[in-house]
Structure 1
Amino acid sequence: MSKIALVTDSACDLTDEELKECGARLLPLRIIYADKEYRDRVEIHPDEVYANLEKEVPKTSLPSGEDIEALYRELKDEGYTHVLGVFISSGLSGTANAVKMYAEEHPSMVTHVFDTKNLSMAEGITVLEAGRLIKSGMALEEILEKLAAFQETIDTYYYVDTLEYLMKGGRIGKVAGTIGQLLNLKPIISVNRDGIYYTIAKAKGRKQALLRLVGILEENLAKYKCNVYVMHGAALEEGKALVETIMKMKNVQSMDLRQISPALGVHTGKGLLGICLQRNPL
């Protein structure tokens, strides 16, 4: 009889309670400063990363090989026959590919990696869905088909308050970034079907950009019922205000507020606000 382990990474933005409830094991991404590196959520909290951004912008990296290998040995000792990995977009991180490589050293367990082609709560709700399907007793091949269909119902949109960190991280060109700063252009970024950041809209100033972000959600709510997650990067009060606005809209099935992982936050800086929506038929 098959026994399926569920594995994800710390970009999923799920709480410890949610991870426990869905049975997911967590591989921490790494937050790397000039003098030291930390395991995300294990040795450093997102609040600390955001608080230090003005002093130093760290790099982020995939989980360490030691952590991946240790987890595989643990799963083998616990009698798992299959591993389902649900990870941050392979277009944004090497996590999925690293797990595939280490999985080759453990042929007694069949590993399937599901690339969410997204991050944060888009990844997180996919992990929750995977946990639900595993608990239902469904075969792994069918679970993968269900997750692929579920993935098509999810989109994320982020308002970025400053282009400074995207420029520093090489996510956008310096010329485009400088022009954007001079014109006070605020981008709305999303993740395309290849799992890579792209700019979906621009607006002049914070107020107009947030109105555009809300407008994108309203366009979806006109056609679908949606589970909505508001995500913030050290912008709790603004996040709460956005939640209040969204709660007044029709066709909102559920609503939640989360702090976003440093996996995105270090590339955007403080003031990030995002929306993850999962669409369902009216």
Structure 2
Amino acid sequence: MRKIALITDSASDISTEDLNKHNIKLLPFKIIFSDKEYDDRLEITPEFLYDALPNEIPTTSLPSIERITNTLREAVAEGCTHAIIITLSSELSGTYNSIRLACENVNDITTFVYDSKTLSMAEGVLVLETAKLIEEGKSFNEIIDIIPTLTSKIDIFFTIDTLEYLKKGGRIGKVAGTIGEVLNLKPVITVGDDGIYHTYCKARGKKQALSKLVEILKSYLAKDKCRIWIMSGNGLEQAQSLFETIKNLENVEECHLGGTIGPALGVHTGPGLFGFIVEKVD
């Protein structure tokens, strides 16, 4: 009998509860401080990271080839004949390529490595939808055909409190960062089909950014029923406001509050992030 393992990296921001509920195996990034390094989500919480950021901005590193290989071998030991591995965008990290290389080390399991072309719970929703397909008893081949069709139904939009962390991480030029801070412009960011960050629009201050996010979401709800996940990176107050504004709108199938941007992504976005993931429902 065929048994399918489901694996993802910690940038998917899936809660520990959902990981355990759906038996999803996690490949943690390393969060590296000057005096210690941690396995993302397993040894360090988002709260710890955001408290530490004023004193030190850590670096991150990919799940090691050894860790990936051991996770696959663990799946084999559990009787899995196949593994589906979903990663954050290959344009934002080398994780996808590392996992593909590691899969070559384990011959007794058939693997499918999928580049989600996104991150955070946009990646996480794709993983959770895949978990449902496995639980429904769909075959490996059926599932890997369905996964790419799900990607086009899931989008992410968020804003950040400061451009400092994106600048320090080399994500934007210094001039762009300076202009944004002087004018209090806050970009509303999305991840395009190409798997990279795009500025969707700009807002002056948090209140206008919140209004822009609501407008964007309403444009989805005007056309489709949607599931929504409200995310926060130490910006819970704004996330709560967003949730209260949209939870009862027409065509909102589900609205979840409480998703937290984990350390692997929080290092690059800093505190104060809030936004949403939207999934169109057939």
TM-score w.r.t. the length of structure 1 is: 0.96
Structure 2 residue aligned with 1:129:
129
Alpha-carbon shift at residue 35 of structure 1 (Å): 2.5
Alpha-carbon shift at residue 15 of structure 1 (Å): 1.8
Task: Determine what percentage of the aligned residue pairs are the same residue.
Answer: 50
Native 8 Å contact 1:120 1:260 kept in 2: yes
* Aligned residue identity for 1:112: F
* Aligned residue identity for 1:152: S
Provide the rounded CA distance (Å) in 1 between the counterparts of 2:155 and 2:61: 24
* Aligned residue identity for 1:156: I
Provide the rounded CA distance (Å) in 1 between the counterparts of 2:86 and 2:144: 10
Native 8 Å contact 2:41 2:263 kept in 1: no
Q: What whole-Å deviation, never above 9, does each CA across 1:34-88 have from its counterpart, x for those lacking one?
A: 2321101111111101111111111222112232122122122222211110111
The 5 A counterparts of 1:178-257 are: 178-257=178-257
SS in 1 for 2:85: strand
The 5 A counterparts of 1:1-282 are: 1-257=1-257, 258-281=259-282
Alpha-carbon shift at residue 150 of structure 1 (Å): 1.1
Please list every run of at least 4 consecutive aligned residues from structure 1 whose deviation after the TM superposition is greater than 6 angstroms. none
Q: What whole-Å deviation, never above 9, does each CA across 1:100-150 have from its counterpart, x for those lacking one?
A: 111101122111101111111111111111111112222222211211111
Provide the rounded CA distance (Å) in 2 between the counterparts of 1:105 and 1:155: 34
Provide the rounded CA distance (Å) in 1 between the counterparts of 2:166 and 2:194: 19
Provide the rounded CA distance (Å) in 2 between the counterparts of 1:219 and 1:147: 25
Provide the rounded CA distance (Å) in 2 between the counterparts of 1:118 and 1:225: 21
**Residue ranges of structure 1 left out of the alignment (5+ in a row):** none
Provide the rounded CA distance (Å) in 1 between the counterparts of 2:268 and 2:90: 17
Alpha-carbon shift at residue 30 of structure 1 (Å): 1.1
Q: What whole-Å deviation, never above 9, does each CA across 1:220-271 have from its counterpart, x for those lacking one?
A: 1111111011000112222112111111321111011211122222112111
* Aligned residue identity for 1:270: P
Moved more, 54-63 or 154-163: 54-63
Native 8 Å contact 1:184 1:205 kept in 2: yes
Native 8 Å contact 1:61 1:93 kept in 2: no
Q: What whole-Å deviation, never above 9, does each CA across 1:12-31 have from its counterpart, x for those lacking one?
A: 22222211222211111111
Native 8 Å contact 1:8 1:25 kept in 2: yes
Provide the rounded CA distance (Å) in 2 between the counterparts of 1:250 and 1:261: 30
Provide the rounded CA distance (Å) in 1 between the counterparts of 2:264 and 2:245: 27
Aligned residues: 281
* Aligned residue identity for 1:250: E
* Aligned residue identity for 2:44: I
Native 8 Å contact 2:233 2:260 kept in 1: yes
TM-score w.r.t. the length of structure 2 is: 0.96
Q: What whole-Å deviation, never above 9, does each CA across 1:134-170 have from its counterpart, x for those lacking one?
A: 1222222221121111111000001111111111111
Alpha-carbon shift at residue 213 of structure 1 (Å): 1.2
* Aligned residue identity for 1:25: K
